[in-house]
């Protein structure tokens, strides 16, 4: 390839890479991808999930390889304003040669120990395949989202009917109110919706029998007085749930403190402390029950249940955020050890520059508090330099 051909090829690949990057971003942030990754799917939706998730794994593998090879080409091209024959030969090999080894499933083979690739692909060919497959995946995700939205729309009317029935029951007052049947029907409706969402492509709407129950609920509400009977057990469950929230907050507080100590600039959300307010709210429920204010009691029970769920979610969020930082540090340590072992197998442990990069990464990872972004960059720098030494064959 001439210099002009090289430059045109690089410009074309950079443009393709940017288009692919935009498609990958759209794909990775697509709400339908969350559904497909959630598990428990059935029927055609399960088949779509298997196909799409496999394609996503292949896309990320190939996208990373394309970026690495493109960076390599740009680096070689940037060494001299007018590359010589040696540089042009390298650039021709990278830009036109079959340099990407793939398994039969399309995953990039970047580890010599993984075996020989099944096929080889050029960068232009890989870029074209990536654009095509990424577009197909985004279209498939759009179809999943449309099907899920259609299923959700089917349940709007019966859920609204339940809400009206609940409001009418509250108006009854006294001890005639029973929320257990309303909540029971709502739970079954939610289960039916969740079941439909397990295969939105094959769903056919809410069960007719359940719709008939919702329609009949307003006619039966005056004869129910179940709240007074169900209240002790409901409170027992709420107390147990608040105890679980307390345990979750305690664990979140512990991991939060550990992460703050071990990770620099952790940026974690504050540790929640919802239990005192929840227990105070439970005490208010007892007063309402003693005063036989069933309508208000029903509303407050619902609020407490939501508050408990939200408190549990907040505690889980803080725990996951803090634990995620610690896990990231552990992952980076593991990766660094793996690369070090690989360097040992290649006879590169004593290489001065490589050793210096290893020490830099190790110092960052084993210093508290750990600067995770800097440690990540250091590990990546060590990996790339090791890859470069391996490719050039210079121990």
Write out the two tokens for 35. 């559904």
Provide the sign of the torsion angle of the four alpha carbons 16, 79, 388, 372, taken in this order.
Answer: negative
Does the pLDDT value for residue 350 go beyond 50?
yes
Q: What distance in Å separates the CA atoms of residue 196 and residue 203, rounded to the nearest whole number? A: 5
Which pLDDT belongs to residue 161? 82
Given a contact cutoff of 8 angstroms between Cβ atoms, the answer to whether 63 and 20 are in contact is yes
User: What is the percent of the chain where pLDDT is above 70?
Assistant: 92
Does the pLDDT value for residue 330 go beyond 90?
yes
Please give the average per-residue pLDDT across 328-349, as a whole number: 93
Whole-angstrom CA distances from 183 to 165, 168, 237 are 11, 14, 15
Q: 210: exposed, middle or buried (C-beta count within 10 Å: 0-12, 13-18, 19+)?
A: middle
Q: According to the 3-state scheme, what is the secondary structure of 85-132?
A: HHHHHHHHHHHHCEEEEECCCCCECCCHHHCCCCEEEEHHHHHHHHHH
| 191, containing H or E segment | helix 180-197
Please give the average per-residue pLDDT across 136-165, as a whole number: 89
Among the listed residues 217, 228, 81, 240, the one whose alpha carbon sits nearest the alpha carbon of residue 159: 217
Does the pLDDT value for residue 175 go beyond 70?
no
pTM of the entire structure?
0.47
CA atoms within 13 A on the CB side of 166: 19
Does the pLDDT value for residue 170 go beyond 70?
no
Write out the two tokens for 239. 């107390």
Q: What pLDDT band is residue 176 in, cutting at 50, 70 and 90?
A: very low
Q: What is the pLDDT of residues 37-69, one digit of tens each?
A: 888 888 898 899 899 999 999 999 888 888 888
Q: What is the pLDDT of residues 77-106, one digit of tens each?
A: 777 777 777 777 877 777 887 878 888 888
Q: Per-domain residue ranges for the chain?
A: 3-149, 155-224, 327-392
Q: 248: exposed, middle or buried (C-beta count within 10 Å: 0-12, 13-18, 19+)?
A: buried
> 322-326, 348-352, 380-384 — which is least confidently predicted?
348-352
Given a contact cutoff of 8 angstroms between Cβ atoms, the answer to whether 134 and 23 are in contact is yes
Radius of gyration of the chain (CA): 30
Does the pLDDT value for residue 338 go beyond 80?
yes
Q: What distance in Å separates the CA atoms of residue 285 and residue 295, rounded to the nearest whole number? A: 12
Among the listed residues 59, 37, 33, 61, the one whose alpha carbon sits nearest the alpha carbon of residue 140: 33
Q: What distance in Å separates the CA atoms of residue 383 and residue 381, rounded to the nearest whole number? A: 5
Task: Write phi, then psi, for 99 (nearest 5 degrees).
Answer: -105, -5
User: How high is the mean pLDDT of the chain?
Assistant: 86
| 239, containing H or E segment | helix 226-262
Beta strands (DSSP E) in 123-209 are none
Given a contact cutoff of 8 angstroms between Cβ atoms, the answer to whether 297 and 231 are in contact is yes
Which pLDDT belongs to residue 24? 87
Given a contact cutoff of 8 angstroms between Cβ atoms, the answer to whether 158 and 214 are in contact is yes
Q: What is the pLDDT of residues 208-256, one digit of tens each?
A: 889 898 888 776 665 445 667 788 998 999 999 999 999 999 999 999 9
Beta bridge partners, 194, equal none
Q: What distance in Å separates the CA atoms of residue 140 and residue 119, rounded to the nearest whole number? A: 27
Q: How far is CA 147 from the centre of its chain?
A: 21
Which pLDDT belongs to residue 319? 96
> 137-146, 246-255, 294-303, 336-345 — which is least confidently predicted?
294-303
Among the listed residues 342, 369, 343, 368, the one whose alpha carbon sits nearest the alpha carbon of residue 354: 343
Given a contact cutoff of 8 angstroms between Cβ atoms, the answer to whether 386 and 355 are in contact is no
Q: What distance in Å separates the CA atoms of residue 40 and residue 200, rounded to the nearest whole number? A: 12
Q: Is residue 304 classed as helix, strand or coil in its secondary structure?
A: helix
> 144-148, 297-301, 332-336 — which is least confidently predicted?
297-301
Which pLDDT belongs to residue 324? 95
Given a contact cutoff of 8 angstroms between Cβ atoms, the answer to whether 178 and 217 are in contact is no
Given a contact cutoff of 8 angstroms between Cβ atoms, the answer to whether 129 and 181 are in contact is no
Q: Is residue 349 classed as helix, strand or coil in its secondary structure?
A: coil
Q: Are strands 98-102 and 119-122 parallel, antiparallel or unpaired?
A: antiparallel
Whole-angstrom CA distances from 133 to 33, 147, 152, 299, 339 are 15, 21, 29, 51, 32
């Amino acid at each position: 390839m001439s210099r002009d051909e090289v430059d045109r090829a690089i410009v074309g690949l950079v443009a393709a890479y940017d288009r692919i990057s935009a498609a990958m971003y759209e794909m990775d942030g697509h709400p339908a991808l969350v559904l497909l990754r959630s598990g428990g799917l059935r029927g055609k939706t399960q088949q779509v999930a298997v196909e799409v998730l496999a394609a996503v794994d292949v896309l990320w593998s190939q996208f990373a390889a394309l970026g690495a090879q493109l960076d390599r080409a740009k680096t070689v091209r940037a060494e001299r304003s007018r590359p010589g024959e040696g540089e042009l030969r390298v650039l021709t090999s990278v830009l036109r040669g079959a340099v990407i080894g793939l398994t039969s499933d399309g995953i990039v083979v970047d580890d010599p120990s993984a075996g020989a690739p099944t096929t080889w692909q050029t960068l232009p060919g890989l870029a074209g395949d990536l654009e095509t497959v990424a577009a197909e995946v985004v279209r498939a995700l759009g179809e999943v989202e449309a099907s899920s939205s259609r299923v959700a729309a089917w349940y709007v009317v019966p859920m609204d009917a339940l809400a009206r029935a609940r409001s009418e029951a509250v108006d009854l007052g006294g001890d005639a109110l029973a929320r257990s049947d309303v909540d029971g029907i709502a739970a079954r409706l939610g289960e039916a919706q969740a079941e439909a969402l397990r295969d939105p492509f094959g769903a056919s709407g809410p069960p007719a029998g359940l719709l008939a129950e919702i329609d009949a609920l307003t006619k039966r509400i005056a004869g129910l007085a179940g709240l007074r009977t169900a209240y002790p057990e409901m409170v027992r469950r709420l107390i147990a749930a608040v105890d679980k929230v307390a345990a979750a907050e305690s664990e979140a507080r512990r991991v939060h403190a550990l992460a703050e100590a071990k990770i620099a600039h952790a940026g974690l959300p504050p540790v929640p402390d919802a239990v005192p307010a929840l227990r105070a709210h439970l005490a208010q429920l007892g007063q309402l029950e003693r005063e036989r204010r069933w309508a208000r009691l029903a509303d407050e029970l619902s609020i407490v249940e939501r508050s408990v769920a939200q408190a549990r979610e907040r505690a889980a969020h803080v725990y996951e955020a803090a634990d995620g930082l610690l896990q990231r540090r552990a992952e980076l340590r593991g990766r660094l050890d793996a690369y070090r072992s690989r360097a040992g197998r290649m006879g590169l442990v004593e290489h001065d520059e490589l050793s210096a990069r290893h020490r830099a990464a190790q110092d960052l990872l084993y210093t508290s508090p750990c600067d995770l972004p800097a440690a990540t960059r250091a590990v990546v720098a060590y990996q790339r330099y090791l890859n470069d030494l391996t490719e050039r064959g210079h121990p």
